[in-house]
């Protein structure tokens, strides 16, 4: 089955199913006698999700893809991408609070993962949100309450 929307032919077959955003392919599992399914976002080289796929009734060939299975796979692949983005965000952007009340300071570390020159920006904001210090540091800088307090003591002295 094919759908021609905006001059794009969408393939919807037993082992290959696609929509405007995702492409699902049932592939032979290299590690055993089973089958796997890969979900790839259009325009990306690597699949966002690869997982086991159900065998058909003959226990030899894969179960064919259909619309409900494809929609479930899309939902799962989207969730995997969302979690990956959240994990990357958490790894590249760290935040801690030091002090308390009117003396509370928020210290952030924003890592810039440049291939040639990775670095991080360390910044501190007071309780009113005004930036009180900023410094470029190595990408491997470990942000802890102790390192933040020591940095701020030097910066604000």
Give kind and range of the element (H or E) at residue 101.
Answer: none
> Hey, how many other C-beta atoms are within 10 angstroms of the C-beta on 8?
12
CA atoms within 13 A on the CB side of 101: 1
Whether the CB-CB separation of 111 and 102 falls below 8 Å is answered with no
Q: Which residue has the tokens 């003396």?
A: 103
Domain count, the chain: 2
Q: Which domain holds residue 26?
A: 2-91
Mean pLDDT within 84-96: 92
Q: Do residue 147 and residue 74 come from a single domain?
A: no
Position 7 confidence tier, pLDDT thresholds 50, 70, 90: low
Q: Do residue 78 and residue 113 come from a single domain?
A: no
Q: Do residue 72 and residue 114 come from a single domain?
A: no
Could you give the CA distance from residue 78 to residue 85 in angstroms, rounded to a whole number?
11
Q: Do residue 45 and residue 11 come from a single domain?
A: yes
Mean pLDDT within 148-153: 92
pLDDT at 4: 47
């Amino acid at each position: 089955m094919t759908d021609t929307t905006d001059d794009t032919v969408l393939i919807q077959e037993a082992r290959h199913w696609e929509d405007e955003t995702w492409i699902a392919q049932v592939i032979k599992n290299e590690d055993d006698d089973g089958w796997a399914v890969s979900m790839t976002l259009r325009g990306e080289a690597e699949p966002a999700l690869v997982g086991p796929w159900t065998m058909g009734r003959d226990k030899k060939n894969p179960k064919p893809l259909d619309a409900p299975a494809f929609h479930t796979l899309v939902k799962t692949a989207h969730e995997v991408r969302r979690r990956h983005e959240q994990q990357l965000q958490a790894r590249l952007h760290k935040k801690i609070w030091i002090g308390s009340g009117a003396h509370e300071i928020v210290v952030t570390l924003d890592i810039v993962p440049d291939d040639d020159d990775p670095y991080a920006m360390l910044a501190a904001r007071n309780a009113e949100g005004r930036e009180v210090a900023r410094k470029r540091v190595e990408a491997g800088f470990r942000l802890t309450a102790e390192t933040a307090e020591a940095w701020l003591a030097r910066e604000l002295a």
